[in-house]
Amino acid sequence: MCGRIIQSSSPLHLAIVDGLEVSDSRMGNIRPRYNAAPSQELLVIRENRKTSERSLDLIKWGLIPHWFTDPRGGRRPINAKAESVSKLPTFREAYAQRRCIVPIDGFFEWRAIKGARAKQPYAIAMKDGSPFGLAGLWENWRNPNTGEWQRTFCDHNRALQLIGRADPPSNASHLAARDLRALARFRTGSPRSSHYLSV
């Protein structure tokens, strides 16, 4: 799910979690993204496990586990399947300790069309145009060659983990949830819509 993401609202509108203050001046320079791709930096909502303080940060899309030693960073998955996110070594520790919410205005999906070689893209968003969130995981990774730290993330939305502004408890619950199956009960309060895109 989500090979491309739309983050076109201002950071203030993307702060969809209750208790999140966006007063940081650096947020004023962030450009809207209408077709954000893996390896680009996107806004992500994180919660400090010790202080419970929430922040909106720019993080690179494509997860690199903190324990990874290849200086190139490996394959950098952009999605994690809900069925295996708690078991696979790539995601297991981040799932237990470093969850996030990726606030978006929409995302793109591609559908195979019978008899056509190319897949058909669809833009999927809320009917009322409001931002919503995708459940995600984030990591801190230190490049073994340069010593430079890099923050990365992926979403884990195979079980339709769309977190809506109309249901604030689900936003906070993902940051602290113990079991993704329990989170799957939450549904967004605003209907989704998809739009056919011509190529």
Active site residues: 2, 109
Q: Is 168 helix (H, G, I), strand (E, B) or coil?
A: helix
What DSSP letter does each residue of 103-163 carry, written as one string?
Answer: EESEEEEEE--TT-SSPEEEEEEETT---EEEEEEEEEEE-TTT--EEEEEEE--TT--EE
Give yes or no for a contact between 104 and 133, defined as CB atoms under 8 angstroms apart: yes
Q: At 71, list the tokens.
A: 């200086």
Q: Which amino acid belongs to residue 69?
A: T
Q: Side by side, which strands form the sheet with 192-196?
A: 33-36, 4-7, 106-111, 120-126, 192-196
Q: Report the Cα 50 to chain-centroid distance in Å.
A: 22
